[in-house]
Amino acid sequence: MLDLKVIVQNALKTGTAIPAFNVPYLPMIEPVIRAVVDHNSFALIETARIEWIRFEAGGPEAVAKEFFRWQVADHVRLHLDHIPVHDEDRQPIDYLAIIRRAIDVGFSSVMVDGSDLSLDENIFATRRVADLSHTLGILCEAELGSVLRHEPGLFPPYDEFFASGKGFTIVEEARQFVDQSCCDWLSVAIGSVHGAISEAYRDHKKISARLDLDRLKSLAQVARVPLVLHGGSGIPQEYVLAAFKKGIAKINIGTEIRQVYELAMQSSGRISAAQDAVYEHTSWLIQEYLGLSNIQPIVTEEIA
């Protein structure tokens, strides 16, 4: 079994990607893993700080405990998503302490989110995490630019947002950021949008986002590390598959499977029914939408 860094590099070299599924509810973990295994695929199971603040993930320890009940090492690893430097009220977070907790319980990779900071501040925060994680053999993901959240009342009309390029990753900054931060993967902002997390809007259908593929190609050329697409739910398939060929080697999927789980729980009141719904939709995502069934070669042998 290859090191995770090699697996993601293999995905980059072959123009494919590793899906990373967010699990805001612990019972989602088992059906997601089962779908990945049944389709002979490979994926990351991930949790973000917001998913134990606003939902029911419970924190890195709870997610790890449930993950290791079901994990199949040839098919899944555990990733810590979005640990911000500041919270939603701009108050500082002890992000290093949270990341240490995740590493201690078995996470294979971690993400620090300094996207709301200046370039120099983001580099500094990311370098702190990279130094810590690399000492322990753990990969570090960072974000440059800002992938916005789909929150009605806060978000401009999508066409206006896309045309403005507001918050999109600046190509000229990407090389400096990667060189000085020492991150292993870089999340870039190229038009995708995070799902809504507020109680009033989190069950709304996501915006059908587009991707600035020309910017992505330029970012890949200067960054020279695997790039990550956050806010992967709801993007037309042709953009997603094209992005895999232009530098995206990891794609985060959260809203699609979360909403399926919540809808099934609301309609049936049974966790088992919600798990069945998650399994079916994750299977569809892997096989039909992402085209990532039978990707085991990138997991078993290093590709030159």
* Residue 27 within a domain: yes
* Residue 206 within a domain: yes
Task: Say whether 3 is catalytic.
Answer: no
Please count the structural domains in the chain.
1
* Residue 171 within a domain: yes
* Residue 281 within a domain: yes
34-70 tens-digit pLDDT: 999 999 999 999 999 999 999 999 999 999 999 999 9
* Residue 93 within a domain: yes
pLDDT level of residue 152 (50, 70, 90 thresholds): low
- Residue 31: which domain range? 4-295
The CA distance from 287 to 12, in Å, is 19
Number of other residues whose CB lies within 10 A of the CB of residue 286 = 26
77-124 tens-digit pLDDT: 999 999 999 987 788 999 999 999 999 999 999 999 999 999 999 999
pLDDT level of residue 2 (50, 70, 90 thresholds): confident
Catalytic residue, chosen from 3, 38, 81, 276, is: 81
User: Does pTM top 0.75 for this prediction?
Assistant: yes
Read off the CATH number of the domain in which 147 is found: 3.20.20.70
Contact 245, 220 (CB under 8 A): no
* Residue 80 within a domain: yes
* Residue 109 within a domain: yes
* Residue 302 within a domain: no
